[in-house]
Amino acid sequence: SYVLTQPPSVSLAPGKTARITCGGNNIGSKSVHWYQQKPGQAPVVVIYYDSDRPSGIPERFSGSNSGNTATLTISRVEAGDEADYYCQVWDSSSDHRVFGTGTKVTVL
Amino acid sequence: QVQLVQSGAEVKKPGASVKVSCKASGYTFTDYYMHWVRQAPGQGLEWMGWINPNSGGRKYAQKFQDWVTMTSDTSISTAYMELSRLRSDDTAVYYCATEGNKMELQVWGQGTMVTVSS
């Protein structure tokens, strides 16, 4: 089955740039979606189709995808960005949706 | 606006079944697949499968093939997820979510906590 690997945690000071990676075999050939989940809440999509942003999501959130790594970038990180972030793809070979292992972003 | 409202928390004994509902509003229910995702306490997101409310077609994650059943009732715009032969490690929050045009999980329900305990 297809596996997506994320770093368990990222810690940074306010105003810095967070880069959260999502590794998978030839992930660049797939569409990647990113979800933000705050404690006790349902996930919210922050980036879809590699780099598209839903309405209401700040421009500080951006995404890229190439080769074996997709990246979610959060510019000028704020305290309100503290959350768990998950990448997700559709694995066409199994017709399954697959989530990454998740990354906890902590704003110091 | 698009909204998914799920049924309330459940406590079940091992070996029992649980059926969680997800009522949709604000869009045409049959236009979009409905997915189910679960999250055990302190763990990540786990995709369980989807149902196409228009055709009744469904796809389950291999792990859940033999013990999950997803259904829908288009007359009341509601999807259901039933899990049988519950075990303690099925204790989790269960979410429904609609699929958007780019296959993202666009709108999520609030989640339903299912606790399996003797």
Query: For A54-89, what is each residue's pLDDT tens digit?
Result: 999 999 999 999 999 999 999 999 999 999 999 999
Summarize pLDDT for B12-52 with one digit per residue, the tens.
Answer: 999 999 999 999 999 999 999 999 999 999 999 999 999 99
Cβ-nearest to A99 among B45, B110, B111: B45
The pLDDT-based confidence of B93 (bands split at 50, 70, 90) is very high
pLDDT at A23 over 90: yes
pLDDT for residue A1:
87
Chain B nearest C-alpha distance from A46 (Å): 10
Rounded average pLDDT over B60-79 = 96
Alpha-carbon distance A51 to A77, whole Å? 18
Average pLDDT in chain B: 96
Helix (H) or strand (E) holding A103: strand A103-107
Dihedral, CA atoms, B85, B89, B93, B97, nearest 10 degrees? -60
Share of chain A above pLDDT 90, in %: 96
Non-local (6+) Cβ contacts of A30 within 8 A are: A24, A65, A89, A90, A91, A92
Q: Tell which phi-psi region holds residue B107, choosing left (phi > 0), alpha (psi between -120 and 50) or beta.
A: beta
The structure tokens listed for B70 are 């997803």
Share of chain A above pLDDT 70, in %: 100
Q: What is chain A's mean pLDDT, rounded?
A: 97
Q: How far is the C-alpha of B85 from the C-alpha of B87, rounded, in Å?
A: 7
Amino acid at B37: V
Closest Cβ opposite residue A48 in set B47, B102, B109 = B102
Contact check, Cβ <8 Å, B109/A49: no
* Average pLDDT score over residue span B59-76: 96
Amino acid A36: pLDDT: 98
Q: In chain B, what residues touch A37 (CB-CB under 8 Å)? A: 45
Q: Nearest by CB to A42, which of B44, B61, B95?
A: B95
Question: A102 to chain B: which residues are within 8 Å by CB?
Answer: 44-45
Q: How far is CA B90 from the centre of its chain?
A: 13
In chain A, which residues touch B (CB < 8 A)? 1, 31, 33, 35, 37, 42-45, 48-49, 52, 54, 84, 86, 88, 90, 94-102
Taking residues B54-76, report their average pLDDT.
95
Rounded-to-integer distance, Cα A59 and Cα B105, Å: 20
pLDDT at B91 over 90: yes
For an interface test with B, which of A4, A97, A101, A104 has the most B Cβ atoms less than 10 Å from its Cβ? A97
Mean pLDDT throughout B2-18?
97
